[in-house]
Structure 1
């Protein structure tokens, strides 16, 4: 992270704050439809919320699927990109899954432009490119 105010990343029950961040990034900025962004998994997921000086600036959603931890809905507000916050969110998500018995690997669906970002964090791309909400993605995995 740069010399900006330090971010705090923690598990949260404030799903409304996470949804507001996702709306700003995915729906308003990236043009994802509300139907594609909103689903029924928020209630069963673990949510990470990143704040700077008390202001919500990023989030990620964690789901367990057998031996796999799935990181999804990762978003960082535009004014916080390039600070290391996104990497810190991913590291926090991996660390959270590492504490859970039975989770052997972590996976995510990465937007194509972000493949290098996730590779630097230890993820490996696999499988074909696919469309998710009008944006090209590839699946990525990290063994724990």
Structure 2
């Protein structure tokens, strides 16, 4: 597996992966937000290639004067489930965040579908909001300290 920075040519394969994750992990209503995000995002965003194909992506951005990093738009091809794509992406992003010495908290907004995945990386659930992302997809707000991956 190879992880590299996002390139404009990654948009179509990532949108295809996003669509494969609807409705289990993302709501249909979120596709436009992701499609809008890809060409204008200037924050770090990374793509995983597995066997030469785009297999997922994950990024982060800094908030609160650079003291908090927030994970954004993590997704992996559901046909690659169990291959380690999501874990490799999150480890890479956590390592990138560790290069920012001012960061003292890492946050993520996920759903009941993925929150156990984040728990494996020491994220703690703080609250949930029902039907936040789409009907049946709840918001799970989680955080962790920027310790080792």
Query: Separation in 1 of the partners of 2:134 and 2:124?
Result: 22
Helix, strand or coil at the partner of 1:118 = helix
Measure how far apart 1:107 and its partner are: 1.0
- Counterparts of 1:1-144 in structure 2 under 5 Å? 7-10=1-4, 12-17=5-10, 19-30=11-22, 31-33=27-29, 34-40=31-37, 42-65=40-63, 66-130=66-130, 131-134=132-135, 135-144=137-146
Helix, strand or coil at the partner of 2:118 = helix
Specify whether residues 21 and 101 from structure 1 end up closer, same or farther in structure 2 by C-alpha distance, changes over 3 A only: farther
Specify whether residues 44 and 90 from structure 1 end up closer, same or farther in structure 2 by C-alpha distance, changes over 3 A only: same
Q: Normalising by structure 1, what TM-score? A: 0.81
Kindly report structure 1 stretches of 4+ aligned residues shifted beyond 4 Å.
none
Measure how far apart 1:99 and its partner are: 0.8
Query: Separation in 2 of the partners of 1:64 and 1:14?
Result: 21
Specify whether residues 103 and 58 from structure 1 end up closer, same or farther in structure 2 by C-alpha distance, changes over 3 A only: same
CA contact under 8 A between 1:21 and 1:75: conserved in structure 2?
no
Specify whether residues 35 and 120 from structure 1 end up closer, same or farther in structure 2 by C-alpha distance, changes over 3 A only: same
Q: Normalising by structure 2, what TM-score? A: 0.79
Query: Separation in 2 of the partners of 1:27 and 1:52?
Result: 18
Between 1:76-85 and 1:20-29, the stretch displaced more is 20-29
Query: Separation in 2 of the partners of 1:117 and 1:62?
Result: 17
Consecutive unaligned residues in structure 2, runs of 5 or more: none
Instruction: Tell me the number of residue pairs that the alignment of Structure 1 and Structure 2 aligns.
Output: 136
CA contact under 8 A between 1:64 and 1:70: conserved in structure 2?
yes
Measure how far apart 1:114 and its partner are: 1.4
Measure how far apart 1:21 and its partner are: 4.2
Query: Separation in 1 of the partners of 2:34 and 2:133?
Result: 10
Give the alignment's Cα RMSD to 1 decimal: 2.1
